[in-house]
Structure 1
Amino acid sequence: MYAEPNALWPDYGRFRVRERLLLTGHSHQAWPDAGFAGQVRAWEHAAEFADLKWGPAFEVAESVRRHWARLLDDRDGDITLGQNTHELVTRFLSALDLRARPRVVTTDGEFHSIRRQLDRLAEEGLEVVRVPVAGTATLAERLAAVVDDRTAAVMVSSVLFGSARIVPHLAAVAEACTLHGAELLVDSYHHIDAVPFSVRAEGLDAAFVVGGGYKYCQLGEGNCFLRVPPGNRMRPLFTGWFSEFSALADAQRGAVVYGEGPDRFAGSTYDPTAHYRAEAVFGFFETRGLTPELLREVSQHQVGLLMERFDALDLDPRVVRRDREGPLQQVAGFLALESDRAAELQQGLRELGVLTDSRRNVLRFGPAPYLSDAQLMRAMETLEEAVRQLRS
């Protein structure tokens, strides 16, 4: 996969990955052609079965759940599917007893699906404690230290979306939550299929885990999940009628009933097309042997190559510089470059034929397994030209 032609190029013909420098891997990876076949299959099922399509669609959804459980190395939890992480995070928050425990602990580096919602809740009086992400090596311990008996939940990413830094020792946070009776929600969106993830190995058996497939899994929009700890009996305030499908009507006569397993946090009517696409792409990954372990090996090689080529450019650090907090092994799936003019550099790169993404003062080069080494080197050489044009 490092050579030209890259062995995966034929599998991504519709996205024209051999012709384009798509360094948007952290934001939007290309979809394999298998996903197109899955999307067509969803349309064909709708045409053939009409309203009876939900039977086959639910079978596809169950297949997608099994794939997520496999990527989480999870044998016991329940996987609830959602269109986006925000709807799942909101249901989680609505299930907390915030009257008795009006405090949520998080970091100052969470993705917007968590960050914005907590900001708004803080305006209404929720106490939100934000632990700085600077010094990632000790982040888990610092989070654990501020959990108390008033804390309803800790909400933290396993990989920071701004810097690609892997957050170690999350088991310490899980232990603190268990000690104080708080819930733990781990955002794994920037972890899954970039770095191998294991609920069991990380000591997160009692944790909620949220994530999705828009990025490293190449599933496209509409494919997110919430892993719910086994035996969980919480009652989300924001609850969809799909939760009633597996509920016994007389179980709680006079009260709102909740389904069992993944239905407890379920929503309502959705577009099943995304799940057909996901099932097809998951199948493609298995057929091609694109395991989390192999993808991690490729990612480390690619991010390391980007770092090496960036350092060789010796660009003015006042214009653009890279994060050097820790070794390559502590970095997930992209290279974060810091610049006060990150958005301008992104635009300049786009005009020169290299697609990247940026957030505030961070320019992100996101490689993917369908990119050759030569493509990555050309992209980094283009950055030198973009900086030159920026300063002219």
Structure 2
Amino acid sequence: MTGPLTLADLTGTDNALAPHYSRFRVAERLLLTGHSHQAWPDVAREAQLAAYDAAAELVDDKWDRAFEQADRVRAGFRALLGDADADIALGSNTHELVVRFLSALDLRARPRLVTTDGEFHTVRRQLTRLVEAGLEVVRVPADPVGTLAERLAETVDGRTAAVLVSSVLFETARIVPGLAQVAEACRDRDAQLLVDAYHQLGVVPCDLAADGLGDAWVVGGGYKYLQLGEGSCFLRLPAHAQELRPVLTGWYAEFGALATPADPDRVAYAGGGDRFAGSTYDSTSHYRAARVLDFFAEQGLTPRLLRAVSQHQRGVLTAAFDELAVADGLITRDRETPPEAFAGFVSLTSPRAAELQAALAARGVRTDSRGEHLRLGPAPYLTDDQLVDAVAILGEVLAA
């Protein structure tokens, strides 16, 4: 069928979206990797071929067409952020964008960064290395999540250059409430706030103004819930970003000023998001991303619908898991937190999470693990029966 789809089309024993993912064979496999690498719709392959055809036809003149794709990707991220006028810098991954952001800070005058102990390795590893180089990094415990924003806000002082925090924690899927408090504390002390929204976009609706994050930098990408594949990440710049001069950028960051005679002793910057741009890149990712974003629009896969599907599927998974009646000493889940406080996956806690992941993979159930967290990530193209079957196999693994 053609869109727009409804919740009824994407739940139950049949799934109207699944036929659009024939090459990933989503109807035949138990792919609980929706929080990490969702399947790509078939149109993504067509877009990749279009990128090849453009290069073959236009050779080095392909870039005008490539930049058109990039503009479509920026527009897609603006819509997902609820910020129609946002300046967007694009990058191949979030690490390069975070590094560009850090390079714009005056870390000599304000050598203190604040973060949490629940951040993904992109931030964790880079900040640990900066500690080795002499910076001060304060890691606020992520638990209890309900007070995390308040505790982060209390930690910001006059020596703080920036706070780096996720809107959804990557190990537990917990949504971090009250980040507007952190934004206000940063604003009051002239510090920057960088929010990692990677585990939010495509599964939890976002409206930066309504969330009190109009002054925040936001980083994320399409590798996970948005089905864009590799190479399509973004950095949303607040208005005051135009005052900053990032150290680590590429020659694309000077595009708007290349025609103007340059001061050989001072680097020039383009305006808008290009101020934080890199340089020559593989444009195939943007062809694919632009087409998949169009596909989502054609099918009616709005953030609101995707949230409803996600909450339904998480409910199916948790109910099936609870029916296993497994001893908590082996594996358990958070039953104290209300369902609406979670984002897009179910996190099960076990000291043998990695072993369970490997055993599930051997039986055809794709999941992943992070430390003691076994993560089960549904996706909108899966049926309820597939989710129940996957948990049943988990029960067999546990019994073994």
TM-score bracket relative to the smaller structure: over 0.9
**Alignment-derived partner of residue 20 in structure 1:** 29
Q: Distance in 2 between matches of 1:264 and 1:307?
A: 45
- 4+ residue segments displaced more than 4 Å: 250-253
Are the equivalent residues in 2 in contact too, given 1:140–1:172 (CA < 8 A)? yes
**Alignment-derived partner of residue 31 in structure 1:** 40
> Match of 2:387, as an amino acid?
L
Q: Distance in 2 between matches of 1:315 and 1:252?
A: 68
Q: TM-score, normalised by structure 1?
A: 0.98
Of 376-385 and 251-260, deviating more is 251-260
Are the equivalent residues in 2 in contact too, given 1:76–1:230 (CA < 8 A)? no
RMSD: 1.0
1:212 to 212, 221, 224: 221
Once the two structures are TM-superposed, the CA of residue 355 in structure 1 deviates from its matched residue by 0.5
Residues 287-336 of structure 1, C-alpha deviation per residue, up to 9 Å, x if partnerless? 00000000000000000111111111111111111123410000000000
Once the two structures are TM-superposed, the CA of residue 34 in structure 1 deviates from its matched residue by 1.1
**Alignment-derived partner of residue 5 in structure 2:** none
**Alignment-derived partner of residue 87 in structure 2:** 78
* Structure 2 residue 396 is the aligned partner of structure 1 residue 362: no
**Alignment-derived partner of residue 123 in structure 2:** 114
* Structure 2 residue 252 is the aligned partner of structure 1 residue 247: no
Q: TM-score, normalised by structure 2?
A: 0.96
Residues 345-364 of structure 1, C-alpha deviation per residue, up to 9 Å, x if partnerless? 00111111110011111000
* Structure 2 residue 38 is the aligned partner of structure 1 residue 2: no
2:285 to 262, 274, 281: 274
**Alignment-derived partner of residue 318 in structure 1:** 329
1:114-263 equivalences under 5 Å are: 114-232=123-241, 233-247=243-257, 249-250=260-261, 254-263=265-274
Q: Which runs of 5 or more residues in structure 1 are unaligned?
A: none
* Structure 2 residue 315 is the aligned partner of structure 1 residue 300: no
> Match of 2:359, as an amino acid?
G
Q: Distance in 1 between matches of 2:387 and 2:246?
A: 45
Helix, strand or coil at the partner of 1:105: strand
Helix, strand or coil at the partner of 1:246: helix
Q: Distance in 1 between matches of 2:159 and 2:319?
A: 47
Change (3 A) 1:385 1:50: same
Once the two structures are TM-superposed, the CA of residue 76 in structure 1 deviates from its matched residue by 3.2
Q: Distance in 1 between matches of 2:49 and 2:13?
A: 31
Helix, strand or coil at the partner of 1:201: coil
Helix, strand or coil at the partner of 2:59: helix
Once the two structures are TM-superposed, the CA of residue 247 in structure 1 deviates from its matched residue by 1.9
Q: Distance in 1 between matches of 2:349 and 2:255?
A: 49
**Alignment-derived partner of residue 7 in structure 2:** none
Once the two structures are TM-superposed, the CA of residue 262 in structure 1 deviates from its matched residue by 1.1
> Match of 1:121, as an amino acid?
L
Q: Distance in 2 between matches of 1:204 and 1:350?
A: 40
Q: Distance in 2 between matches of 1:173 and 1:321?
A: 32
Residues 73-131 of structure 1, C-alpha deviation per residue, up to 9 Å, x if partnerless? 01332100000000000000111000000000000000111110001001111100001
**Alignment-derived partner of residue 339 in structure 1:** 350
Change (3 A) 1:222 1:7: same
Are the equivalent residues in 2 in contact too, given 1:110–1:156 (CA < 8 A)? yes
Q: Distance in 1 between matches of 2:185 and 2:282?
A: 39
Of 80-89 and 4-13, deviating more is 4-13
Q: Distance in 2 between matches of 1:316 and 1:51?
A: 62
Once the two structures are TM-superposed, the CA of residue 2 in structure 1 deviates from its matched residue by 1.5
Residues 43-83 of structure 1, C-alpha deviation per residue, up to 9 Å, x if partnerless? 11011100000000001101110010000001332100000
Q: Distance in 1 between matches of 2:257 and 2:319?
A: 56
Are the equivalent residues in 2 in contact too, given 1:76–1:229 (CA < 8 A)? no
Q: Distance in 2 between matches of 1:4 and 1:205?
A: 41
Of 72-81 and 119-128, deviating more is 72-81
Are the equivalent residues in 2 in contact too, given 1:5–1:372 (CA < 8 A)? yes
Once the two structures are TM-superposed, the CA of residue 258 in structure 1 deviates from its matched residue by 0.8
Q: Distance in 1 between matches of 2:160 and 2:14?
A: 53
Q: Distance in 2 between matches of 1:3 and 1:135?
A: 35
Counting aligned pairs with the same residue, the percent is 60
> Size of the alignment, in residue pairs?
389
